[in-house]
Amino acid sequence: MKKGQLGFLTGTHTVNDLYQGAIPAMLPFLMSERHYSYAAVSGLAFAASGVSSLFQPLFGVISDRKSRPWLVPAGFTTAALGVVMAGLAGNYMVTWLCVALAGIGIAAYHPPATSQARAAGGSSQKAMSVFSVGGTVGGAVAPSLVTLVIGSVGFDGSYLLAAPALIMAILWALKGPWMRRRGYTKAAPSVTAASTKPAADPARQTDDWRAFGRLVAVIVGWSIPFVTVTSLVSLHAQRDLGQSTAAGAATLTSYTAAGAVGTLLGGWVGDRYGRMTSVRIGYLVALPALLGIAWAPAFPVLVASATLFGAAMFLPFAAQVTLGQDYLPNRPGTASGLTLGMAMAAGGLCSPAFGWLADSSGLRAAFYALLLVFVAPVVMALRLPDRVLASPDAPSPEPVDATNTSSTQ
């Protein structure tokens, strides 16, 4: 495990996903100051998650064909630009386009950064969970940062939100040459793809598209409640339980911060008990936690349920990323782009529908409908097959050993 490189990439992930989390954190302020409806707010959630997810597989294919490490800083700086411009925009359409620009930047970042992180961390689930938790921490910090900036100086101070991306871009300019001297950025995609398929076992080289398709279906079902809860839970605290804007932001922070804990815990469980254990426990716990969000009669119940839901939803996160890459060992960037990208598009695409339901029937009705939708991916997640490939850092096994190793469990 290359800890220095993994740590630096984790820092870039924190900055990138800070802007992903900044968009839902801005929604309550947009509703109060620009008088947007639930449907309009959900449309912005689609611009952020849906557009980003649709572009992400494209960037995955691009990163598989040729190493393009510059996509990492270009991604998070574009995301920052889109968020800042959305805060300064004067009308809904311009705001929507700016949020979509931020989503495209987020999409450009994830496939190359995830492939590089897998190369730096090897086959360790804990290593991928550390990289993943960087993004979760960024999402957790975002509501507090947005509340501090916009709550204090209004949308005119949105340019202050660009500071983290500017600092990280400078650090990347300083660290980038060091990483290239170590032969890291050029080798990252090929290390992930090639070293996980020993020549002695041709079966290991095959891409299992059928199993990968099942995983994508599960992540589609995961993304719908994830995106919808992210965009509506703070409004639920304010509109249904009579809490302040700060309390709504605190609920969102608790939800995303718990995701960081769940991501790290999932990596530990995956290394110790197998990654499918973290997948199954996560989905089984998330279902009743979502019921708690929908039912919550008081603010403490909502916070507790949202915290549990955030932790449970991210327990299988690192496992899903590495599982997708092991299903498609020849196309790690494509696997990252599809699992983190197109599958996530469903959440953004469906978010406006739940917004319309909230406009017509209330937020609780939207959350109960979300609960029914989530049952299907929970059942499917319990039936996902595992696939064990050789460690990227391990030498190719001798032919006599390869006969005793199964590429699929």
What was the pLDDT predicted at 28?
Answer: 83
* CATH class of residue range 3-402: mainly alpha
User: What is the predicted pLDDT for the residue at 179?
Assistant: 57
Q: List Cβ neighbours of 403 (8 Å cut-off, separation of 6 or more).
A: none
Assess contact for 107 and 341: CB atoms under 8 A.
yes
Cα–Cα distance list, 167 to 1, 36, 77, 153, 171 (Å):
26, 33, 10, 22, 6
Look-up: residue for tokens 């709504």?
248
Q: Where are the domains of the chain?
A: 3-402
CA–CA separation, 51 vs 23, rounded Å?
13
pLDDT at residue 344, as a whole number: 61
**Is residue 17 within 8 Å of residue 139, measured between CB atoms?**
yes
pLDDT of residue 340: 66
Give tens-digit pLDDT for 320-378: 888 988 898 888 777 877 776 666 666 767 777 888 899 899 999 999 999 999 999 99
| Residue ranges for the chain with pLDDT beneath 70 | 1, 122-125, 175-205, 340-346, 348, 389-409
- 8 Å CB contact between 306 and 233: yes
Distance CA(320)–CA(216), nearest Å, equals 9
- Enumerate helices (H) and strands (E) in the chain, giving the number of each: 17, 0
